[in-house]
Amino acid sequence: MSSIMNQWTDELRYAPYSSWTSAHLENLTSIIAQSSWRFKYHIQPQTGLLNDPNGFSYFNNQWHLFIKR
């Protein structure tokens, strides 16, 4: 993770998501998954914010979590 942080520039910070390579996205996903700040039990998205989860519902033998978008 430190290698990415050492190379961080304004150009990288503001690069459009569509310009990221799949290899870069896979690398970031791997780093995020290994983060010590990542929750192990609670619901959270792969990255970013979840925005107002409204609770679990059980329907047709499946649990669902609805969120506000």
Select from 32, 35, 55, 31 the least CA-distant residue to 43.
55
Residue that has been written with the tokens 């390579």 in this structure: 21
pLDDT at residue 1, rounded to an integer: 45
H/E element, 53: strand 53-59
pLDDT range class, residue 16, cuts 50, 70, 90? very high
Q: How many domains does the chain have?
A: 1
Cα separation, 52 vs 68, whole angstroms: 6
**Domain coverage including residue 47:** 2-67
pLDDT at residue 62, rounded to an integer: 95
pLDDT, one tens digit per residue, over 41-58 is 788 888 888 878 888 899
Residues with catalytic annotation?
Answer: 52
The mean pLDDT value for 7-13 works out to 83
